[in-house]
Structure 1
């Protein structure tokens, strides 16, 4: 049986769609994914690269982020805008919150014996935060621009659903495999098999797209200022599973486009198309044509060339498209010779 979330008219009016990734959600779910063997096509290469690059001491934090069960609150409840801010928030967690968070987690899930000493042992807490920072530096930070791009593209898809059918259309399509809208109830198939009824009481929800939370929805009913429900970004709901992340771990380098390859792609118009996509992530082909001032067919042709060169990605949802610049495309624009 699913988790049943009951919506009132006020809840529907106050439900929002996040247009940027949540660092805390991405890092905690990435930590879970490292300890799983699921999604081998999409996450297998990332998982292998990350695990082989982690220092053994960094695995300390994974003990508090098990693949199943609750994650200790002070590690999962931060509301930072960037991964770097997230680490700083965790480092500055008050001792009282640390103790309360650990005690709450211990009621539902056994903790390592050393975890109970964290509130009273600054050196141990520093080691844990260093472990968290090292994990973020290898599992998340190298891919953060791609996570942002996929989230921006998803926001474009949801915006069109919202314009075409209102928030109920978004709820109906946000994750058809796991989430079903039966007005006025949203049925969510949780990994835990939780069977319960939840009334939002006018708070509404924040719908949070995620790159790493692809297995099952993550629901945080205690989040402020309103409950949060995660769902996979639109790209991950496309039919064909393709490997995620082209960025390599820190300390390694990928050969970028050769000067000849860049020169064959970036003429005046294509440079304008790439620059426009970078400034308007998630734009459709029709919007792209209007912004650049060219025909829709021409915009489609240029987008295809840029996509084949690895400078943009295109995400499709039914009849709509959403273009985003890849990290390579952004690097080309940032290069002195590639400015549009």
Structure 2
């Protein structure tokens, strides 16, 4: 059990991460790739990714076993993490003393290959190889699915924000799923080992993670900036081949309720899409997409995130519930979202 101890000040300093943390997604996905559970969510992704992984993945799997301890330096809590390159640069700048300490702890629970000794010594060539392995893994395992990762995390952030607005910090904490229980002033999290994290006024960052499975996780070193990384909902067809990943069109219950174009647009936003992508998929004009999205947004079924001059649309929790009800009634996608 992980027990996170809050002070009154900490309750005012709970934050939701603004987006995916690429190094957490890499580390969690490497671990999830080695597991066999979560077949309904990750099975198709595992089967597609495993044959494509570069040989450099052999540098990552020993450092990130599917169960138990993994080093904190692989997910730095400080420094520039705005891009993968900057995040990897921060990781590679880990002080030698910390490398030795964390890798020695890992060696106490797992048999490590000889090259890890060079990594613990801060050898520049070994560190460079690790950096290259992170970039290569991300390109093969994550980039093809990054649109779904981003969309589902944005949907989760919208849901957390709604919990916070409707019920405050306690509603935000209690809404993190069945593995989390709020017993004031302690947040109890299902965890493989007993660990206490005393916030002491530092607050807590809630970091949603697409590949975190099956329960939340955190850093082992309680002196590092506190973070709780937690699983999220997954779009049912997120790992499907591109040709099969588009919106399900055709007449159905939602078409009769909303109108066919709006129903198709709502289906498109299940995995997230831009105005340009929606117009191309549905073969309608950009102004038509914007007009219909305005109606869906006003009804609370979609939300729109604007970044870099582009509008990115995704279904809200209410919109996803409506789509799930249609799936259930028509026999599509039953059991596709096993976790709350």
TM-score, L = length of structure 2:
0.71
Alignment check: 8 A CA contact 1:21 1:209 kept = yes
Runs of 5+ unmatched residues, structure 1: 277-283, 290-295, 304-310, 323-340
1:184-230, Cα deviation, whole Å (9 max, x unpaired): 2211111x1x2344432222211111111131111226478731111
Alignment check: 8 A CA contact 2:56 2:136 kept = no
Task: Report the counterpart of residue 185 of structure 1 in structure 2.
Answer: 186
SS of residue matched to 1:87: helix
Matches within 5 A, 1:31-110: 31-77=30-76, 79=78, 80-110=81-111
Alignment check: 8 A CA contact 2:5 2:198 kept = yes
Residues 178, 90 of structure 1: alpha-carbon distance in 2 compared, 3 angstrom cutoff: same
Deviates more, 1:131-140 or 1:255-264: 255-264
Deviation, 1:157, is 1.0
Aligned counterpart for 2:236 among listed residues 242, 249, 255: 242
Alignment check: 8 A CA contact 1:21 1:151 kept = yes
Q: What CA distance in whole angstroms lies between the structure 1 residues aligned with 2:2 and 2:10?
A: 17
1:48-91, Cα deviation, whole Å (9 max, x unpaired): 11110012343222111111122223323355123232233334
Alignment check: 8 A CA contact 1:221 1:227 kept = no
Q: Does 1:265 align with 2:266?
A: no
Matches within 5 A, 1:164-203: 164-175=166-177, 177-190=178-191, 192=192, 194-203=193-202
Alignment check: 8 A CA contact 1:58 1:130 kept = no
Deviates more, 1:222-231 or 1:28-37: 222-231
Alignment check: 8 A CA contact 1:314 1:321 kept = no
Runs of 5+ unmatched residues, structure 2: 248-275, 305-311, 324-340
Alignment check: 8 A CA contact 1:50 1:138 kept = yes
Q: How many residues align?
A: 284
Residues 321, 203 of structure 1: alpha-carbon distance in 2 compared, 3 angstrom cutoff: farther
CA RMSD, 1 decimal: 3.7
Matches within 5 A, 1:145-160: 145-160=147-162
Task: Report the counterpart of residue 16 of structure 1 in structure 2.
Answer: 15
Residues 164, 197 of structure 1: alpha-carbon distance in 2 compared, 3 angstrom cutoff: same
Residues 196, 31 of structure 1: alpha-carbon distance in 2 compared, 3 angstrom cutoff: closer
Q: What CA distance in whole angstroms lies between the structure 1 residues aligned with 2:279 and 2:109?
A: 59
SS of residue matched to 1:207: strand
Residues 130, 13 of structure 1: alpha-carbon distance in 2 compared, 3 angstrom cutoff: same
Task: Report the counterpart of residue 231 of structure 1 in structure 2.
Answer: 230
1:77-118, Cα deviation, whole Å (9 max, x unpaired): 355123232233334445444334323433444422221122
Deviation, 1:120, is 5.5
Alignment check: 8 A CA contact 1:43 1:244 kept = no
SS of residue matched to 2:70: coil
TM-score, L = length of structure 1:
0.71
Residues 189, 272 of structure 1: alpha-carbon distance in 2 compared, 3 angstrom cutoff: same
